[in-house]
Amino acid sequence: MVCGNCEKPKNHFKKGLWSPEEDQRLKDYILRNGHGCWSEVPVKAGLQRNGKSCRLRWINYLRPGLKRGIFSTEEEKIVINLHALLGNKWSQIANHLPGRTDNEVKNHWNSYLKKRVKNSQEASKSKELDNRNIACNQTIEPLASSSMDSSSSEGTTTTTITTQSSFIPKVIFADWFSMENVNGESSLMNGDTSSMSCILDLEQNDTNFLDGFGESECVYGFEAQGQMGSQDGFFDLFYLGDLCGNFDISHNDA
DNA sequence: AAGGCAGCCAACCGCAGAGGG
DNA sequence: ACCCTCTGCGGTTGGCTGCCT
C-alpha cells in the first residue's frame, strides 16, 4: 500500500523513551483522527518520531483497553501452553489474552516463563526416569476412575484414555498426534521420549469423544508427554500444565 | 555509601508479505 | 514484472532499577 499523503522520511527522528508530552500528543491525535497512514501520524501530530515508532508506542502502551501489570496464573498457563503449540508466535498468543500485547507476552516469556518451563521439564524428566525404574517390575495401573476407548477413522490407530477422577476435561481434541501419527506412521523412533502438542478444534471433533467428557468448550493448551514405541506408546496427558490423565496408542498396521 | 551485577521492560532493528504505481 | 512503501512480526538491544557485596 502506498499512501499518497505520506511524506518522505526525515533523517533525524528522535529515538529512545517517550516523554509524557509525546504520549499525550500521539494519543490525542489518534483518538481524534484515527491513525490512518502511520508515516503520516508523526507529521500531523507534530512529533519528531517515525511512523513505525508511533505505531509501536500506540499498540504497546497507549491503545485503550490494555491490561497493564502482572500476569495472572491463568494467563501464564495460557502462554505456556500456547507456546508449546505455536512456538514463538507472540502475536497469535497475545490474541488469546485480551489486553496483552505481543511485546508484553514475549518479554514475560523471556523473563519468567522460559526458565519456569525449563525447570519443570527437567523435573518431569527426572520423575519419568524414576517411574520407569519402578515400572520395570510392575504392571501399569490406570490413573483414572473413568475411561474411554476410541478408534481413528482410518482404522489404524486405537486410543485408550483414562482420566483422573478429580479432573474432567472440558475439551475435545481432533488431532491426537502430529499428522504423521494420524496416518498411522509414527515419525518417532522406537524408544523416543517425546512431547507433543495438539490444537483443539471443536469443528473437527469426533462425537464419540464426547462421551464421559461432560460439557465441551473451545479450549487450547493440550499436551502429551511420553514414550513412543514401534507399535504403541504410553503418554501422560496434560491440560493447561496439569496432569489430567494418560492414554496409550496402538498401531494396528493394515 | 558505592560499585558491580542481574533482571526487567520499552524500544529499536531487520525482515517478510501485501499491495499500489 | 518490477520497484517502492507500508505494515506487522520476532529478535535483539540498551537503559533503568533493585539487590548484593
Q: What digits encode the pLDDT tens for the residues A16-33?
A: 889 988 989 998 898 888
More confident residue, A102 or A5: A102
> Closest nucleotide to A106's CA, by C1' atom?
C10
What is the structure's pLDDT at A119?
Answer: 72
**CA atoms of A22 and A49, how far apart (whole Å):** 9
DSSP structure class, residue A110: I
Domain identity same for A79 and A157: no
CATH number, residue A114: 1.10.10.60
Q: Are residues A210 and A177 in the same domain?
A: yes
Residues A168 and A244 occupy one common structural domain: yes
End-to-end CA distance of chain A: 54
User: Side chain identity at A136, as an amino acid letter?
Assistant: C
On whether residue A51 sits in a domain, the answer given is: yes
pLDDT tens digits, residue range A116-156?
A: 877 776 666 666 666 666 544 333 233 333 333 433 333 33
**Is the domain of A57 the same as that of A79?**
no
Sign of the CA dihedral A26, A29, A33, A36? negative
Same domain, A113 and A186: no
User: Cα–Cα distance between A82 and A121 in angstroms, integer?
Assistant: 16
Scanning every strand, the nucleotide with its C1' closest to A7's CA turns out to be: C5
Say how far A69 CA is from B12 C1', in Å. Answer: 23
Domain shared by A42 and A96, yes or no: no
User: Which grid cell is A121?
Assistant: 521439564
- Mapped onto helix, strand or coil, the DSSP state of residue A129 is helix
Q: Which percentage of chain A shows pLDDT scores above 70?
A: 42
Tell which wins on pLDDT, A206 or A90.
A90
Do A47 and A98 share a domain, yes or no? Answer: no
Residues A225, A177 share a domain: yes
Assigned domain for A4 exists: no
Domain presence at residue A8: no
- Sheet with A157-163, strands from edge to edge, namely A146-151, A157-163, A242-251, A232-239, A222-228, A192-198
Answer yes or no: is A61 CB < 7 A from strand B. yes
Does the structure show a pLDDT above 70 at A113? Answer: yes
User: Does any domain span residue A194?
Assistant: yes
Nucleotides on chain B within 7 angstroms of protein Cβ = 7-14, 18-21
Q: What is the DSSP letter of A173?
A: B
Same domain, A42 and A86: no
In A85-173, the DSSP E strands lie at 146-151, 157-163
Q: Is residue A95 part of a domain?
A: yes
Nucleotide nearest to A8 (CA to C1'): C5
**Does the pLDDT value for residue A235 go beyond 50?**
no
Q: Within a domain: residue A12?
A: no
Largest CA distance in chain A: 76
Residue A171 domain-assigned?
yes
Average pLDDT of the residues in A94-111: 89
Say which residue, A121 or A250, is predicted with more confidence. A121
Structure-derived torsion over alpha carbons of residues A169, A175, A178, A183, reported in degrees to the nearest 10:
140
A2 touches strand B (CB under 7 A): yes
Is A58 a domain residue? yes
| pLDDT value at residue A116 | 80
User: Do residues A190 and A110 share a domain?
Assistant: no
- Tell me, in Å, how far CA of A249 is from C1' of B4? 55
Structural domain tally of chain A?
3
How far is it, in rounded angstroms, from Cα A205 to Cα A222?
Answer: 15
Look at residues A31, A32, A30 and name the one whose alpha carbon lies nearest to residue A40. A30
Q: Structural domain of residue A243, as residue ranges?
A: 142-251
Q: Is the CB of A20 under 7 A from strand B?
A: no
Are A182 and A145 in contact by the 8 Å Cβ rule? The answer is no
Residue with cell 503418554: A235
Looking at the structure, tell me whether residues A81 and A55 fall in a common domain: no
Please state the separation of Cα A162 from the chain's center in Å. 24
pLDDT at residue A83 in the model: 87
